[in-house]
Amino acid sequence: MKKLCKSICSFSLMLILVIALSACNMETSGGNDKKDGDGGKEVIKIGAIFAETGPASTLGKTQANYVKLIQKQLDEAGTINGKKIEIIMQDYETDDTKAVIAADKLISEGVVAVVGATQASTSMAILPKISGEGIPLMTVAPVNPEAKDIYQMAPSNLTNASLIIKFLKENNISKVAWINARDGFGVEGLPSFEKVAKENDIKIVAHEEFDATATDMTVQLTNIRKKNPEAVIVWSRTPGAGIVARNFKALGFDIPMIQSSASANKGFLDQVKDNNENIYVIGSKLSVVDQLPNGEQKDRLKKFREDYRTMFNSDPDNFTAHAADGFHLLIEAIKAGNTTSEDIHNYLKTEVNKYSGLTGSFELQSDYVGPYEDGFSVLGIENNEWKYYE
C-alpha cells in the first residue's frame, strides 16, 4: 500500500513537472509568433538579464521594471532607421547557473547586445559565453576592472574611494578606521581605498571585520576606538550596516561615519532612524534630485524619475539608473546606424566620449572603468531624509 502511494506521488510529481515545462515552452514560442508577425519590419533584439526574483531582487526588480518602461518608450517613438528595437528580458532568479542558461537563450534568439546582470558574480559568469559570441555586455554591477569586453554602468570601487577621499580632505581628516562585512561586497572595497588613500596621505589606522548578519559589532568598534581614528568607513550591506551605525551611536563616538553605496537605500534610513547625525553615505544624486542645483543633470534625473513614477507608482533607484544607461548607450549606437554586435562594439569603444548618463558621465574609450564620480555625492541625513551638500 505504501509503495503504491509512493509511486502515485512520484508519478503525479513528474506529471506536474512535465506540464510546467511545456507551459514554459508555450510561453516562449508564443512570444516568438508575435515577433515574426510584426508586419515584416526588421527587428533588432537586445537582451536583458536581471534578478527580478530571489534575494537580489532588491536591486533587480526595478531594473526588470525599467525594461517594460523603455520598451514602451521605444514602441511609442516608432522605428529607428526603419528598424524596430525589441528587448528580451530574462529573470535569472538570483541564480548564476540560470543566468548562464538565459545567456544561451538570448544568444540563440540573436540579440545584438546584452544588458546585465544585476550582480557582479553573475556578470562574470555570463561574460565568457556572451563575449565569446562577440556580443557587447553592459553590466550593471561593479566587476573586476581587469575584465575585457565588458562595459560597466555601475561606479567602480575606485570611483567610490575617490569620493570618500574628497570628503575626508574637505574635512581635514587624515586618520581613518575601516570596517567591513565578511562577504563578497564587503571585502572588495578596501584594496581600492588603500590604493587611493596611499596616494593622498591618508592613514588607515584600524581594520576590522564582521558578519553581515551578525547581531552586534561593539567589539570591533571598541578595537577601533583604541586607535583614535578621525573617521570610520563602513563597507557593508544592511542589516549589518545599520547595526554598526547603532552600536557606533551607543558607544558615543563623535567622529563622522562614512558608509558605502550599499547603504544608500530606504532600509538603511529606517534602521538608523533618530540616530543619524554624523552618518554619511555615498549616494546617487538621483536620491536627492530635488535638492540639486538647476541644470541639465537635474532635468535628466527628474525626467527619469517622473517617467518611472508614472508607470510604476514608486521611485527608481541607482540600480535602475545603471540599467537605463546601458539601454540608452545601446540605443544611441543603433541610432548611429550600428546594427551588428561588431559595429556596436566599435561604436562603444571609439565614439562614446563624455556621454552624460543617469549614473554619471561615461568615457568608454578611456581606461577609466565605469561612470565618473559626477553622478554621486557623499550624502548626509536630515529629518530621516537624504541631504545633499554642494
Partner 1 sequence: MELLMQYIVTGLTVGSIYALLAIGFVTVYNITGILNFAQGEFAMIGALTCITFVNAGLPMYASIIFAILISATIGLIVERTAILHARNTSVIILIIITIGVSTFLKGMGLIIWGTNPKQLTPLIKMEPIHFMGAVINPQSIFIFIVLLILLAVLYVFFEKTYIGSALRACEKNPRAAKLMGINPSTMSALAFTLAAALGAIAGILITPITDATYEMGFLIGVKGFVGMVIGGMHSIPGAVAGALLVGLLETFSGGFISTFYSDAITFLVLILVLFFKPNGIFARASGERV
Contacts with partner 1 by CB under 8 A lie at: 54-55, 57-58, 208-211, 213-216, 218-220, 222-223, 226, 238-239, 242-243, 250-252, 265-267, 270-271, 273
Shortest Cβ distance from residue 271 to partner 1 (Å)? 6
Name the residue nearer to partner 1 (CB basis): 125 or 214. Answer: 214
Name the residue nearer to partner 1 (CB basis): 24 or 251. Answer: 251
- The whole-angstrom distance between residue 94's C-alpha and the CA centroid of its chain comes to 13
Nearest Cα to Cα of residue 124 among 144, 107, 152: 144
Shortest Cβ distance from residue 187 to partner 1 (Å)? 11
CB atoms closer than 10 angstroms to residue 13: 10
Sign for the CA dihedral angle at 144, 145, 147, 153 comes to positive
> How far is it, in rounded angstroms, from Cα 330 to Cα 336?
10
Shortest Cβ distance from residue 306 to partner 1 (Å)? 24
Shortest Cβ distance from residue 232 to partner 1 (Å)? 14
Cell 572588495, located at residue: 188
Name the residue nearer to partner 1 (CB basis): 53 or 171. Answer: 53
Name the residue nearer to partner 1 (CB basis): 186 or 370. Answer: 186
| Long-range contacts of 96-103, Cβ-Cβ distance < 8 Å, separation of 24 or more | 96/121, 96/122, 96/125, 99/49, 99/125, 99/126, 100/125, 100/126, 100/129, 102/49, 102/126, 103/47, 103/49, 103/129, 103/130
Name the residue nearer to partner 1 (CB basis): 51 or 127. Answer: 51
Name the residue nearer to partner 1 (CB basis): 17 or 219. Answer: 219
Name the residue nearer to partner 1 (CB basis): 9 or 26. Answer: 9
Cis peptide before 136 (omega within 30 of 0): no
Would strands 175-181 and 203-210 be described as parallel, antiparallel, or unpaired?
A: parallel
Distances (CA, A) of 128 to 103, 123, 329: 10, 9, 22
Nearest Cα to Cα of residue 111 among 321, 346, 339: 339
Shortest Cβ distance from residue 57 to partner 1 (Å)? 7
Residues 6+ apart with CB under 8 A from 291: 387, 388
Name the residue nearer to partner 1 (CB basis): 208 or 325. Answer: 208
CA torsion, ordered 188, 191, 193, 196, to nearest 10 deg? -140
Shortest Cβ distance from residue 115 to partner 1 (Å)? 22
Shortest Cβ distance from residue 242 to partner 1 (Å)? 6
Name the residue nearer to partner 1 (CB basis): 43 or 214. Answer: 214
CA torsion, ordered 297, 303, 304, 309, to nearest 10 deg? 140
Shortest Cβ distance from residue 206 to partner 1 (Å)? 10
Asked if residues 281 and 235 have their Cβ atoms less than 8 Å apart, the reply is no
Q: What are phi and psi of 91, to 5 degrees?
A: -90, 120
Shortest Cβ distance from residue 248 to partner 1 (Å)? 11
